[in-house]
Structure formats: structure tokens, C-alpha cells
């Protein structure tokens, strides 16, 4: 699962080592696939690269190397592309191609508009906004970061909206009282391709499929499938999947790799989940129980917690970060977790692995 926006403030208590090129070795019996992650401390943003061939890892200080500011408002994450947003600037980094672009002006100056939501990939920034003098009217700005072509589109009245971007296509779900207005927009041309009204329907989330399609999930557990090129509705079925807004889901074949929420209060916010779009089957992996068993079997003292995980298709397992807090000390690392809820590998890391970005 990939969340659209995530805060940097909650990570400010993590380790503050400033050393670059930290090498970490895998001393467990289970090998790990190559993966890229990001680490943040009070001062710096780090890129963490683990190599399958050597079973070692190194880190790069992106704040010093690429001048990416640590003090940013929020980060948008999508398919190994991060957008670091600060006031009117955004650093867009593609961790797969190793390219970073600084875009210095994606909003109007001053307080002339209110941002309602923003998403990006490595070629486009998509911004939902409103003008204070006409607050009911929703607008969309599409910015091509490679040639600075900007399109502004009026979407009409709405009370709440979400935007989703994938491979040059934008889907906007705009709530209008009890109805949802759907828009399909071409990011390259900035033109509305199609629109549709879903009466008496509230859309909770969206999943981009692998067959030139996408799926909408409403508040009464119905699933709507559309083609991505013309937004023609293909079918409507019941679903057991609870999609979340502001989320870009990883999909492989018919399976959606996502998360479920634990009942609170708990040290764990959510755990890994697999949903099959065709069979409507949901499999939940109890990461909370797996961590508790690992702590007991290895006689660990302190609190063992998790904040992020990602699916590894090479081994059909999950990579899960951990922090072991014991009085004033903290140790960090990555677990390999099977779909049966068993921890079969562990890597200790110098710094906390804040967010997984890609598995090779």
C-alpha cells in the first residue's frame, strides 16, 4: 500500500546520526531482495539502498547531496516517486531513475487560493484548489514539470474532492451533496475526457488496475470498474474491501496489496492485507501478533513497534520496519514477514527506515 500524503513531524524523535554511506549487513539466514527506502531525522533526509547481491546496505544524505530541504510541509508518495512540498516549491525525486527536479512555483502567490489536495508523479503536479471569493467552485491545476505547461480546469460546485493520478490520466471524485461527480482528465492535454454522476453515492477510494482500468469503492461496499481511457463503466459488484482516500495502492495482477486498521488503542496502527479484485477474497496478516511472538521467542525487552511495510513480489513476503524502544535507547531494522504471519528474516539498521519506496 502506498499513502498519498504523510507527515514528517512525527518522525522528529528518530535517530540523528549524520554519517553518510552507512553500511549494514544482513546476518539472518533469509536473504532479502534489493529495496530502496527513505529515512528522516531532525536535520536530514536519507536514501537507504539495500543490495540483494551483497546483502548489505548504504545510505545517501539527500539534504546535503541534492539540497532537498528537511523542513517541508508534507510529502506525496507514489510508485517510487516522492514530492517534497514546501510553501510554493516542490522537489520531485524518482528513486527508480535517480532523477530529482525542483519546481519553484506550483501555486498562486499570497493567499489568493486554497489548496485542497495535491498529487504528483515525475512528470505532472495535480492540484485541487478553490478561490476564497467563490469557495464552492472546485478547480484543478495540471502542471507539466518538464515543459512548464499549465492547465486550469473548472470542475463546478462540490463540498469535498479527491484527485488520483496514474500514467497520464487523472480521476477526480467530487462530492455534491448526496452525489459523486466523476471526472476523467488527460494530464497531457489538460482536457476533460469524460464525466459521470453517481447519484446517492459517496466514493471512499480508488484503485488503478493493470488492464487499463480502475476501480471505485463506495461507502456501502460496492465496487465500480471503469476503463481508464474513456471512463466507460464495465461492471458493478459487491466488495469486502474498504478503500481509503489519499492512497495509491500497489496492484499485481488481480491482487491489491494494502492494509487494514487495528482497533485502537494499540502500538500498531495497521497491518498488511491482500485483496483479490476478482474473487473478492481478503487476507489479513497479523503483524501485531508476529511481532509479539518474535519478542517473546528472542527474549526482547521494551516495545517493538512498526510504522510501515511493503510487499516483496520476489519472495511473496512483506518487508516491515521496526523500532525496539527500551528505556532511553532505540534499535532499528527490517523484518521479512510471510503471508502466514511468520518473521523469517531480520536486518538491523543504523537509522530508522521511515518509508519503503521500491523493491527490485
DSSP collapsed to 3 states, the chain: CEECEECCHHHCCCCCCCCCCCCEECCCCCCCCCEEEEEECCCCEEEEEEECCCCEEEEEEHHHHHCCCCCCCEEEEECCEEEEEECCEEEEEECCCCEEEEECCCCCCCCCCEEEEEEECCCEEEEEEEECCEEEEEEEEEEECCCCCEEEEEEEECCEEEEEEECCEEEEEEEECCEEEEEEEECCCCEEEEEEEECCCCEEEEEECCCCEEEEEECCCEEEEEECCCCCEEEEEECCCCCCCCEECEEECCEEEEEEECCCCCCCCEEEEEEECCCCCEEECCHHHHHHHHHHHCCCCCEEECCCEEEECCCCEEEEEEEEEECCEEEEEEEEEECCCCEEEEEEECCCCCEEEEEC
Query: Rounded mean pLDDT of 227-238?
Result: 97
- Closest to 305 (Cα-Cα) out of 273, 345, 353, 257: 353
pLDDT at 25: 57
User: Pick from 273, 299, 304: which is nearest to 286 by CA?
Assistant: 273
- In the structure, what pLDDT confidence band is assigned to residue 4 with cuts at 50, 70 and 90? very low
- ∠ CA(71), CA(77), CA(81), 5° rounding? 100
Cell of 16: 540523528
Distance CA 278, CA 209 (A): 11
pLDDT at 330: 93
Q: Over pLDDT 70: what percentage of the chain?
A: 91
What the chain holds in terms of domains, given with CATH numbers, is 30-61+287-359 (no CATH), 72-201 (2.40.128.630)
Give residue 146's pLDDT band: very low, low, confident or very high (50, 70, 90): confident
The overall pTM is greater than 0.85: yes
Q: Does 12 have pLDDT greater than 50?
A: no
Q: Provide the pLDDT confidence category of residue 114 given band limits of 50, 70 and 90.
A: confident
User: Residue 268: what pLDDT?
Assistant: 93
Mean pLDDT of 182-192: 96
Is residue 254 pLDDT above 90, yes or no? yes
**First-last CA distance in the chain:** 16
Is the pLDDT confidence value at 197 over 80? Answer: yes
The pLDDT value given to residue 26: 63
Mean pLDDT of 7-21: 36
What's residue 282's pLDDT?
97
The answer, yes or no, to whether residue 67 has pLDDT greater than 80, is: yes
Return d(Cα 220, Cα 35) in angstroms, integer: 37
If pLDDT is split at 50, 70 and 90, which confidence band does 19 have? Answer: very low
User: Between 13 and 277, where is the model more confident?
Assistant: 277
- What contacts 225, CB < 8 A, 6 or more positions away? 209, 213, 214, 215, 233, 234, 235, 236, 237
Name the residue among 101, 104, 141, 138 with its Cα closest to residue 121: 101
Q: What is the pLDDT of residue 186?
A: 97
Enter the C-alpha cell of residue 277. Answer: 479484485
At 8 the pLDDT is 33
Which of 38-47, 84-93, 144-153, 333-342 is most confident?
333-342
**Mean pLDDT for all residues in the chain:** 89
More confidently predicted of 102 and 22: 102
Amino acid at each position: 500500500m502506498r499513502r498519498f500524503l504523510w507527515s514528517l513531524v512525527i518522525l522528529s524523535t528518530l535517530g540523528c546520526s549524520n554519517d553518510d554511506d552507512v553500511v549494514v549487513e544482513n546476518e539472518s539466514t533469509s536473504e532479502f531482495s534489493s529495496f530502496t527506502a527513505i529515512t528522516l531525522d531532525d536535520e536530514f533526509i536519507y536514501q537507504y539502498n539495500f543490495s540483494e547481491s551483497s546483502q548489505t546496505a548504504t545510505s545517501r544524505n539527500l539534504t546535503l547531496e541534492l539540497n532537498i530541504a528537511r523542513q517541508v510541509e508534507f510529502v506525496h508518495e507514489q510508485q517510487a516517486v516522492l514530492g517534497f512540498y514546501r510553501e510554493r516549491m516542490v522537489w520531485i525525486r524518482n528513486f527508480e531513475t535517480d532523477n530529482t527536479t525542483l519546481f519553484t512555483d506550483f501555486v498562486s502567490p499570497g493567499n489568493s487560493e486554497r489548496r485542497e489536495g495535491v498529487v504528483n508523479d515525475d512528470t505532472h503536479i495535480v492540484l485541487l484548489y478553490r478561490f476564497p471569493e467563490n469557495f464552492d467552485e472546485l478547480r484543478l491545476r495540471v502542471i507539466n514539470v518538464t515543459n512548464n505547461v499549465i492547465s486550469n480546469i473548472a470542475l463546478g460546485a462540490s463540498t469535498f474532492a479527491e484527485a488520483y493520478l496514474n500514467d497520464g490520466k487523472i480521476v477526480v471524485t467530487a462530492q455534491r451533496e448526496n452525489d459523486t461527480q466523476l471526472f476523467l482528465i488527460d494530464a497531457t492535454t489538460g482536457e476533460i475526457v469524460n464525466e459521470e454522476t453517481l447519484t446517492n453515492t459517496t466514493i471512499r477510494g480508488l484503485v488503478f488496475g493493470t488492464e487499463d482500468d480502475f476501480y471505485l469503492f463506495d461507502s456501502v461496499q460496492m465496487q465500480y470498474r471503469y476503463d481508464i481511457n474513456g471512463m466507460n463503466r464495465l461492471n458493478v459488484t459487491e466488495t469486502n474491501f474498504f478503500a481509503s482516500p489519499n492512497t495509491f495502492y500497489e496492484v499485481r495482477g488481480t491482487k491489491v496489496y494494502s492494509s487494514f486498521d487495528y482497533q485502537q488503542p494499540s502500538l500498531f496502527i495497521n497491518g498488511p492485507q491482500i485483496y483479490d479484485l476478482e474473487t473478492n477474497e481478503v487476507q489479513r496478516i497479523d503483524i501485531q501478533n508476529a511481532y509479539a511472538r518474535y519478542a517473546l521467542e528472542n527474549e526482547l525487552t521494551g516495545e517493538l513497534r512498526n510504522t510501515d511495510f511493503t510487499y516483496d513480489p520476489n519472495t511473496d513476503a512483506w518487508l516491515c520496519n521496526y523500532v525496539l524502544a527500551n528505556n532511553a535507547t532505540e534499535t532499528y531494522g527490517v523484518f521479512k514477514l510471510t503471508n502466514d504471519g511468520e518473521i523469517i528474516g531480520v536486518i538491523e539498521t543504523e537509522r530508522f527506515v521511515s518509508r519503503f519506496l521500491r523493491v527490485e
